[in-house]
Amino acid sequence: MSLLHNTRATFDYTILEEMEVGIELLGTEVHSIRTDNGSLKGARVIVRGGEAYLIGAHIPPWQSANTSASYDPERPRRLLLEKRHIARLASAESEKGLTIIPIQMYNKHRYLKLRIAIVRGKKKEDKRHSIREREEKRRIDRTLKQ
């Protein structure tokens, strides 16, 4: 079951490689995500100093009245990865035209996991092609249903 989903990811980007990672969160952030609050829209992953961070993800506090005044809902959150995966992400980040984005956040047993992907941005004509394919699939499904 997906708790947070980046709906624009497959439309704006061509996915080259995916991986599942852990994420370091505060307790109030975990509660907030499990109650379907938060957004991955506009978020991305960066590698700095041998560690990977999720930046730009908006996760509001679970109970704003009980949260400290210094809480930042868009703070960088550390990703939990092995060194070889961090090295792979760092090489992809340094390659021209590639970026790393979060695709979805979900429960796996009692842990929250984040699915990230190494992606290449689509051009305008590729997006038009995606729209055309989606509409064709809907039309076929409608005719088969009848």
What pLDDT score does 65 carry?
65
β-bridge mates for residue 80, sequence order: 22
- Mean pLDDT computed over 29-37: 86
Cβ count near 21 (within 10 Å): 19
pTM: 0.79
What pLDDT score does 53 carry?
96
pLDDT digit string, tens, across residues 117-138: 999 988 888 888 888 988 999 9
Nearest Cα residue to 34 out of 25, 22, 44:
25
Domains of the chain in start order, with CATH, are 2-145 (2.40.280.10)
Q: Is the dihedral of CA 63, 64, 65, 70 positive or negative?
A: positive
Nearest Cα residue to 54 out of 79, 82, 17:
79
